[in-house]
Amino acid sequence: MRVMIIAPHPDDEVLGCGGTIARLSQEGYEIHVLIVTTAYTPDWSEEFIKNRDDEIKKAHRILGVKKTHFLNYPTVKLDIIPRKELNEKITQIVHQVKPDIVFIPHIGDLHHDHRIIFESSLVALRPIKHTVAKILSYEVLSETEWGYEFSVFKPNIYYDITETFEKKLEAMITYMSELREFPHPRSIDAIEALAKKRGSEIGVKYAEAFHLIREIILQGDQAMANKRFREWDYPKIEHGKLTKWNWMVQYPEGLKLGKYTDIGAFTYINAKYGVIIEDYVQIGSHCSIYSESTIDGKKGQVIIKRNARIGSHSVIMPGVTIGENAIVGAFSFVNKDIPDNTVAFGIPVKIIRKLTEGEIKKLLEEIE
């Protein structure tokens, strides 16, 4: 499961979600943080900017963030950035990460950057190409409580962070340039006070509170497809050893494996002379893919293009390219190229027909 936090500025992610980030990371979630803006000269010194980069790395290492993404727009100047451009940049990261849960700023925060990011995030998170299961807004001290005239923050989701609150504080302390003395809200005392208050609202020592904006519960095939793609990760591949999914590669240095691939048990891949398996390819069990044939001495790179489907017990010979969206029937012997958007099977393989526009559309809908 992937979680994404969209932060207008560095430290917003810690103030709003630090304890939750640490908790979810410990529970096995893959955490991504998108920081939208950055400091710049002459408003900030070169030393401040360098230190800020170090602060971000340290804070995210403490919390267990897998990857930090940056858009590097100017802090406090998002209102001069064309909204279409900002929407598209955030959308690109969303499509790249494919998160299950996204945390965004509150619509009523005092800082204009926060309100702009709230709106652009909702545009990027429209359930069109990628369906995010849950969107929540978080509160940020010195922004949310001072913006009540815009919109009051009404929490309806709470995360118990009793076990990870110290991680939140440790991460926040790395942002020394942002911390102030109490009674300023961006002080250690105020951060602890808010966590205690939110904890008292649900009967625990420390908590972080959120407002649920949207939750989508899918059913049927679409739900299964979304679950499969969200939980996908690159497998550990070692020469001549079964992966955790019980398929094997020889010469793994020659294999280029795309994202969201699905390879069946006991499939064998010889990648000595190169095998490219593009995104969303599905390969059935007990298949054999050869870039080298010891029977006739043939050698050549095998390419299986995006969203192709290979039936179980099929054999693919050196030098073959299987086209995008192509479907190869089970028990086929593939010794020649298969064009895009076609159905093929047989020993040796034969092109049976082209896919209809409706069939192609359905194949694409399963992965978008």
Give dist(CA 8, CA 113) in Å, integer: 6
CB 64 within 8 A of CB 21: yes
In angstroms, the CA 145 to CA 264 distance is 53
The residues of the chain scoring below 50 in pLDDT are none
Within 8 A by CB and 6+ apart from 352, the residues are 342, 343, 344, 345
Q: How many CA atoms lie within 13 A of 338 on its CB side?
A: 36
Q: What 3 state SS string does 208-259 have?
A: EEEEEEEECCCCHHHHHHHHHHHCCCCCCCCECCECCCCCEEECHHHEEECC
**Across 78-132, where does the E strand assignment appear?**
101-105
CA distances (Å), origin 172, targets 124, 180, 204, 323: 28, 11, 21, 50
Tokens of 263: 């390879």
SS3 99: coil
Q: Are strands 315-316 and 333-334 parallel, antiparallel or unpaired?
A: parallel
**Domains of the chain in sequence order:** 2-225 (3.40.50.10320), 237-365 (2.160.10.10)
pLDDT digits (tens, 9 = 90+) for 242-298: 998 899 999 999 999 998 899 999 999 999 999 999 989 999 999 999 999 988 889
What's the token pair of residue 145?
């409580």
DSSP 3-state assignment of 71?
strand
| pLDDT of the residue at 53 | 87
DSSP string for residues in 142-205 = TTSGGGTTT------EEEE-TTTHHHHHHHHHH-GGG---TTSSSSHHHHHHHHHHHHHTTTSS
The whole-number pLDDT of residue 129 equals 63
Per the CB < 8 A criterion, the answer to whether 18 and 31 are in contact is no
- pLDDT score for 182: 85
pLDDT of residue 223: 56
Q: The whole model's pTM is what?
A: 0.65
pLDDT at 226: 58
Helices (H) and strands (E) in the chain, counts: 8, 22
Cβ-contact 138, 130 below 8 angstroms: no
Q: What is the dihedral of CA 360, 362, 363, 364, to 10 degrees?
A: 90
Predicted confidence at residue 111, as pLDDT, reads 86
pLDDT value of position 74:
92
From residue 106, alpha-carbon distances to 114, 240, 290 in Å are 7, 51, 54
Distances 333 to 180, 202, 275, 303, 348 between C-alpha atoms, Å: 70, 62, 17, 15, 5
Give Cα 194 to chain centroid, integer Å.
30
| Phi and psi angles of residue 51, each rounded to the nearest 5 degrees, phi first | -65, -35
For residue 234, the model assigns a pLDDT of 84
pLDDT digits (tens, 9 = 90+) for 32-51: 999 999 888 888 788 887 88
CA angle 71, 73, 75 (to 5 degrees): 125
Q: Are 276 and 256 in contact (CB under 8 A)?
A: yes
Is residue 244 within 8 Å of 236, Cβ to Cβ?
Answer: yes
Rounded CA separation 269/33 (Å): 36
